[in-house]
A and B are shown apart, each in its own frame.
Chain A
Amino acid sequence: MKVSEKKEINQGINNGNSIGKKLGVFKNQTSYLVLVIIIVSVIASILNPNFLTVRNFFNVTQQISVLGILTMCMALLMISGGLDISIGNMAGLVGIVFVKMVLSGYSIVMSVAVVLTISTFMGFVNGFIISKSKVTPLIITLGMMYVFYGIALIVSGGRPLALGGNFEFLGRAKIGPVPFTIIIYLLIFAFAYLLRKYTKYGRRLNAIGGNVQAAFLSGINVDLHIISIYTLSGLIAGLAGLVLASRLGMVRADSGTGYELQALAACIIGGITFEGGRGSLVGAFFGVLLLGIMYNAMNIIGVSSYMQTIFLGAVIVIATVISNIGKMRRE
């Protein structure tokens, strides 16, 4: 009797594991993250019942969509062993140029096409310099961040530009109760997830991030992959810029500034490491959600925005330390 009981329990545990593994959700850090999100939500809804409403939920997700899209850029790059901290200002510049074009009378389609081309090119430039110079991406993209910001200042003349009611559907439209921006974010998340997990291209990026020397000796065209992923990231950052402009209705040269570090934080909270090659996009997705929920909860509870900044910083530090402890234990 006892033996069979034990067996059953074991089987139960095994089943649990395999289901978890299949979903890919409950692996290592992601499971903690989901737990933290639940805890934060419970506390927030106890303190203020308005937190746990459908309206507020969509509110949160709408607020995080720009960050979410940019986080997918960052996540794909970090998994390939790279990094781009110019994506925030890239999105900002895209917003400025877009609004300027629309105000100058160009059609929406034309303007969208032009700004996406520009952002794709900006990504390409980053990737090209990084792959050819072998300088650490942090330095290159830090420089490019200022370049993009400077261009945005020149184009905007340092003044805020208002869209004036044009092109609102992207940022403000809803399908039923679901904001359109969330759908865009989810589509991009799905795209990035599939790319990473189910394509040869994604697998090779992962290998480059894991060990660039081994990837090179395995016959992978490292430069081509690095340049292309930065280029793709530029395109996605351009989309984020459009969502940003459309949602705010008014853009400034620094509208995108700061998103890059939040995206970085979301990735790290989600378990993606600087060493590359590991971490999941699902983790990054929940990382974004946690940041969004924390902001929203603090707003609803009435935590001052200064305090919010401190909390955000603390969360990043704690998340990183926890993931490192996990890593040390595994080794």
Chain B
Amino acid sequence: MHKNDLEKEKILYAKNINKEFPGVKALSNFNFDLYKEEIHCLIGENGAGKSTFIKILSGAFKPNGGDIFIDGNKYNFLTPHLARSIGIQTVYQEDILVPHISAAENIFLGFGNNDQKFFISYRKIIENAKKLANQLGINTNVEELYEKLSPADQQFTKILKALAHKPKVLILDEPTQAFNVKDTGLIIEIAKKISSEGVSVIYIAHDLDEVIKVADRITVLRDGKKIKTHDKKTETLNPENLAKEMVGRPVSLFYKKKECAIGNYVFEVKGLKLNQFSKEINFKVREGEILGIAGLKGSGRTEIVRAIFGALNKYEGIIIYKGKDITPDSPIKAVKAGIALLTENKKVDGLFMSMPVDHNITIVDLDKIGKFFISLRKERRLADDYIKRLDIKTPSPNQEVRFLSGGNQQKVVLAKWLFAGVNLLIVDEPTHGIDVNAKVEVYRLFTELTAAGKSIIMISSEMPEIISISDRVIVIRNFEISRVLSKSEIIEENILSGFMGGGG
């Protein structure tokens, strides 16, 4: 009986939550509670289970086991509609608002206006939006088109939209991603104000300083398990300790790379500036080396490699290969110079989904299969070699790529660039969304390439990957290099401190 009373004090209590995806245990026996008027932060690495948990709370996922108590009522699972109707609102990272209507209209989009059955009073919407913003001390111009607002104002609009539903629980999923210090400060203030007005907030962020500032309590997640919940009232917190709790992973997750001989510096990025105001980026890559690029999403890591490849306009800077200036102004030049870019989202800009496997492999270097006319027989034969070498599982080279699995699709992209004979392979999240076996095969290929004297630049969000594969790591933060780590310095703490701008 007494225990029940205690639970009633909590506005939300999740008990023994389990969630499994094929091959992965995203959450195991996870417990989480949320008191009235508190800000409870969730921290953990990518894949630790934070997103899975909030998706369960917002009704997007159905847990495999466990109970959720909200206001003392027990639920086995929630649906998006149910979650909203019992007062849970989620502000996701992704933009789901309509760009070409005003912020105010976005805030009240989907509301039934009771006194007006069919027509909408624009004036009233603006009025209500202003009232809502004033309550929080936000001075966003709510009459402005959403797409014209600054990132911070867009975030405020999303928060206002959630608050317009008068929630009991507000979930903020990385609300300050890619924000500057000032805007982050504003969001922290607003979150505190929201909680002081009686709404409980679940707050997810990567920046540990920010987390310590905003939180009443902090729960650390790792590999789907709760490590610890800290209470700011009873203990003093520091980022180093929290980072250590987030880390610590069984060794088995790390790929044991065969070490290759590393040669001289062959490739150099000199004075690269993406725009007038960004700091210069300088780095070199050696023959047979894998240079890891670590950085959070939105840190500028993808833009930097796209600029190197000539796919994105840069402000200034030159690219040198073996002493020659090869600065590409378009991918055409980069490909000629032997640079390859494997993009993060291969379906969007890496593969020709409706074309067969062999055509995908040969497209970069058609010269190999004919002068003007293509020899289909030769193409088939050469493509077959690569299909065998990379162990691409396809019923025939004739199969359209979209019918292959994600791992095999990734191998097709790799085969395409191997076929073209690259000197420098730039890969952006090479194993994103592919299974463990395919991952190992991709790593094996990387090792083969470096053994043959090729260089690789690898962007990755996955800590085990970056740590076990890279020979050297540069950490990117806010479009500049925040840390350079030599082989012996590549440990998770150093990378995390680079994310957060810590020196040292």
Q: What residues of chain A have their CB less than 8 Å away from a CB belonging to chain B?
A: 21, 194, 197-201, 203-204, 206-207, 210-211, 213-221, 275, 277-278, 331
Contacts and interface: CB of A to CB of B under 8 A. Distances in A.
Contacts, number: 77
B247 to A, nearest CB: 35
A232 B284 CA distance: 45
A21 B356 CA distance: 13
A199 B332 contact: no
B142 to A, nearest CB: 33
A278 B373 CA distance: 20
B365 to A, nearest CB: 9
A61 B343 CA distance: 49
B331 A219 contact: yes
Given A207-B352, A207-B363, A210-B353, A218 B331 contact: yes
Interface string B338-382: 000101000011111111000100111011001011101000000
B364 A211 contact: no
A214 B361 CA distance: 12
Given A206-B359, A219-B336, 17 more contacts: A197-B376, A200-B374, A203-B359, A203-B363, A204-B363, A204-B366, A207-B355, A210-B353, A210-B354, A211-B352, A214-B351, A217-B349, A218-B363, A219-B334, A219-B335, A221-B332, A331-B402
B353 A203 contact: no
Contacts of A217: 309, 311, 331, 341, 343, 349-350
Which label, helix, strand, loop or mixed, suits the secondary structure of the A interface?
helix
Interface in B304-352: 309, 311, 331-332, 334-336, 341, 343, 348-352
B371 to A, nearest CB: 8
Contacts of B362: 203
A63 B248 CA distance: 77
Contact of B373 (A21, A198, A210): A198
- Most chain B C-beta atoms within 10 Å of own C-beta, residue among A194, A201, A275: A201
B364 A219 contact: yes
B335 A218 contact: yes
Contact of B350 (A204, A214, A219): A214
Contact of B331 (A207, A216, A278): A216
A81 to B, nearest CB: 11
B405 interface: no
B472 interface: no
A98 B355 CA distance: 41
B416 interface: yes
Dominant SS among interface residues on chain B: helix
A218 B373 contact: no
B398 interface: yes
Contacts of A278: 354
Given A217-B331, A219-B332, A220-B332, A211 B349 contact: yes
B352 to A, nearest CB: 4
Contacts of B348: 213
Contacts of A204: 363, 366
| 5 tightest A-B CB contacts, nearest first | A219-B335, A213-B349, A210-B352, A200-B366, A278-B354
B327 to A, nearest CB: 15
A236 B350 CA distance: 33
A206 B355 contact: yes
A199 B331 contact: no
A278 B366 CA distance: 19
Nearest to A216: B331
Q: For A206, A218, A275, which residue has the most chain B Cβ atoms within 10 angstroms?
A: A218
B353 A211 contact: yes
Contacts of A197: 374, 376
A201 B349 CA distance: 20
A207 B366 CA distance: 12
A21 B334 CA distance: 37
Contacts of B359: 203, 206-207
B341 to A, nearest CB: 6
A211 B416 contact: no
15 contacts: A194-B373, A198-B374, A199-B372, A199-B373, A203-B363, A203-B374, A207-B363, A217-B349, A218-B363, A218-B364, A219-B331, A219-B335, A219-B364, A220-B332, A331-B402
Nearest to B359: A203
B403 to A, nearest CB: 8
Contacts of B402: 331
Given A207-B355, A211-B352, A216 B376 contact: no
A216 B351 contact: no
A275 B355 CA distance: 13
Contacts of B366: 200, 203-204
A210 B355 contact: yes
Contacts of A206: 352, 355, 359
B261 to A, nearest CB: 30
Contact of B355 (A21, A201, A277, A331): A277
B311 A216 contact: yes
Contacts of A215: 352, 363
B272 to A, nearest CB: 19
A275 B311 CA distance: 23
Interface in B368-421: 370, 372-374, 376, 398, 402, 416
